[in-house]
Amino acid sequence: MLEMINQKLEPWLVKSGFGRTDTRIIIRNQIYVSLGTSLVIVLVTLFSRWSFAYAAGAALALVNIWALARISQALVYHRKGAPFKLFVIFMVKMTLSGLALYWLIGVERVPHWGLISGLGTVPLNVAVTGLIQLGNTKA
């Protein structure tokens, strides 16, 4: 079943601008981790406030890693002015993320540990995917 989902997701990721296989694998796995764990946690905890905070953190993490990977890949091929463009895009992205976090924590008062757990899906995904890829390389 997972292979069937991968076959549908891969062409969509390529069309979305993820030409490099290693980047596509990280983004694909992050989609699975963010959406899959959020769905399971929301259902298991019977739609608790903590689970919605987790889902919000996981969604914010997915959007951020998606944007970072997409922008980084695009700028590798367009070197003229790339450092400045990357800086501006990074600052805008960080500002929007900061506003989202302010709204979630300051206005909605979501449980912060749920939000932190959701945001933590990115480093966990990158570490696990990297270790798997390292194990798959032939020496």
* Biggest distance spanned by C-alpha atoms of the chain: 52
Listing DSSP states for 40-99 in one string gives HHHHHTTS-HHHHHHHHHHHHHHHHHHHHHHHHHHHHH--TTHHHHHHHHHHHHHHHHHH
Supply the pLDDT for residue 87. Answer: 82
Among residues 85, 74, 92, which one has the least CA distance to residue 20?
Answer: 74
The Cα–Cα gap between 105 and 5 comes to 34
Structural contact between residues 26 and 8, judged by C-beta atoms closer than 8 angstroms: no
Range of the domain at 43: 23-122
* DSSP secondary structure code for residue 139 in this structure: -
User: At 123, is the pLDDT very low, low, confident or very high (cuts 50, 70, 90)?
Assistant: very high
Supply the pLDDT for residue 6. Answer: 87
The tens digit of pLDDT for each residue in 57-110 reads 999 999 999 998 888 877 777 677 777 877 888 899 999 999 999 999 999 999
Supply the pLDDT for residue 139. Answer: 54
Contacts of 89 (CB under 8 A, 6+ apart): 67, 71
Q: Is 34 inside any structural domain?
A: yes
Q: Is 69 inside any structural domain?
A: yes
Q: Is 73 inside any structural domain?
A: yes
User: At 122, is the pLDDT very low, low, confident or very high (cuts 50, 70, 90)?
Assistant: very high
Q: Is 32 inside any structural domain?
A: yes
Helices 49-77 and 82-102 cross at an angle (nearest 10°) of 170
Output the pTM of the full model. 0.87
Q: Supply the mean pLDDT for the chain.
A: 90
Q: Is 113 inside any structural domain?
A: yes
Q: Is 48 inside any structural domain?
A: yes
Domain count, the chain: 1
